[in-house]
Amino acid sequence: MDESQAQEKSSPDSVKPLRWPIYVYLFFDLCLLASVGAYGYFSWGQWTALTEQAKASERNLSETRATADAAKRSADAARRAAEAAEQANRLAREAIIASERPYVFPDKIWLTTHPAAGAKITGFVKFINTGKLPALNFHAGGKFKVRESPPGQLVASGQPPSVLDVAPGGSRTIQTSSDAALTKDELAAVESGKKTLYGYGIFVYEDGFGSQIAQPFCQVYDSKDKSFAECPQPSAEYHEGT
């Protein structure tokens, strides 16, 4: 080989480019595919885990709702039972009070003198207790008055008696009178039937169970029989002293 040929072989332009074998490219492709597959598998695992978590959360929510509904039903049942027990206790207490409490009624009213012009009308009112317990702190007030119609239900005329208790089966009697002397015109109206003499008032007592009972009373005088009987239905007058 001569010198010129040797220089040609050693020249940079005479160097051929390096070419990788085909299996090296295949190896890189396999690595890339493996990476994509690993990422896909990892993503699928995450999606599966999130799906299971969502299902578990939904199941927990359903169980929580069921538990809450059961607790509400239990609370409602307990509330209804408590209300029923309270109502039963109230009814039982009311039944005991109704059977044991005192019952005071005006037994009768009578005059001490015959009505006469120029004199006050005086008389007595007797109350009796038909209940099983004493009527506590009993007091009453009443009066006689000539009227054209029955009096109202509320009257507190005259000085009430001292506060007293009325034992079961016992009685209390109060004295009462008219506010003023009977006039000739009033007496004539009573005798002719144009007006009527009424005895009426109010009595108050306690039943021993924490309640105070206030009841009106009214009786009408019969001039022929010289006695009192129950008033007809009272009028709508509710003013003091009517």
Residue-wise pLDDT tens digits, 179-221: 999 999 999 999 888 999 999 999 999 999 999 999 999 999 9
pLDDT(238) > 50: no
As a whole number, mean pLDDT of residues 34-45 equals 76
Write down the mean pLDDT value for the chain: 82
224: its two tokens: 């022929």
Q: How far apart are CA 62 and CA 41, in angstroms?
A: 31
Check residue 182 and give its pLDDT: 94
Task: Kindly give, in sequence order, each residue whose CB lies less than 8 Å from that of residue 148, ignoring residues fewer than 6 positions away.
Answer: 194, 195, 196
Check residue 69 and give its pLDDT: 87
Check residue 242 and give its pLDDT: 44
Between strands 135-147 and 164-166, the pairing is antiparallel
165: its two tokens: 């208790």
CATH H-level superfamily of 104-230: Immunoglobulins (2.60.40.10)
pLDDT digits (tens, 9 = 90+) for 42-67: 778 788 878 888 888 888 888 888 88
The C-alpha angle with vertex 93 and arms to 92 and 95, in degrees rounded to 5, equals 65
Check residue 22 and give its pLDDT: 72
pLDDT digits (tens, 9 = 90+) for 108-145: 999 998 899 999 999 999 999 999 999 999 999 889 99
Residue at 85: amino acid letter? A
DSSP-assigned letter for residue 14:
G
Q: What are phi and psi of 108, to 5 degrees?
A: -165, 160
The C-alpha angle with vertex 210 and arms to 97 and 124, in degrees rounded to 5, equals 85
Check residue 56 and give its pLDDT: 83
pLDDT(154) > 60: no
Percent of the residues in the chain that have a pLDDT greater than 90, as a whole number: 38
Check residue 67 and give its pLDDT: 86
**Are 143 and 158 contacting, i.e. CB atoms less than 8 angstroms apart?**
yes
Which range, 8-12, 209-213, 223-227, has the best average confidence (pLDDT)?
209-213
**Are 212 and 205 contacting, i.e. CB atoms less than 8 angstroms apart?**
yes
Check residue 235 and give its pLDDT: 42
Q: What is the CA radius of gyration of the chain?
A: 54
pLDDT(18) > 90: no
Q: How far apart are CA 150 and CA 143, in angstroms?
A: 13
Confidence of residue 15 (pLDDT cuts 50, 70, 90): low
Among the residue ranges 34-43, 46-55, 171-180, the one predicted with the least confidence is 34-43
